[in-house]
Amino acid sequence: MAWCENCDRPVDGEVCTICGEEVTVTEREPIPWTWRFFIVATIIYLIWRIYQLVSWLSH
Ligand SMILES: [Zn+2]
């Protein structure tokens, strides 16, 4: 799926049917590894906090 910036609408194909402009197909970039690391670190931190809370409640 491409996107026409002139009409601000999605375009099916390589040429916009409204204005006739050639549009470039935008490829989705993969998630950078720094983001994955950040997400994993956040999950580990949350699990640690939940573990602490559960151990605190059980005492
Ligand atoms: Zn267009």
pLDDT digits (tens, 9 = 90+) for 4-55: 888 998 888 889 999 998 887 766 677 788 999 999 999 999 999 999 999 9
List the shell of residues around ion ligand 1, using CB closer than 5 Å. 4, 6-7, 16, 18-19
- State the distance from the centre of ligand 1 to the C-alpha of 16, rounded, in angstroms: 5
- For the whole model, what pTM was predicted? 0.44
| Helix boundaries (H) for the chain | 33-57
Which tokens is 37 given?
A: 């690391």
- State the distance from the centre of ligand 1 to the C-alpha of 24, rounded, in angstroms: 11
Bridge-partner residues for 15, per DSSP?
Answer: 22
- State the distance from the centre of ligand 1 to the C-alpha of 6, rounded, in angstroms: 5
What pLDDT is recorded for position 27? 66
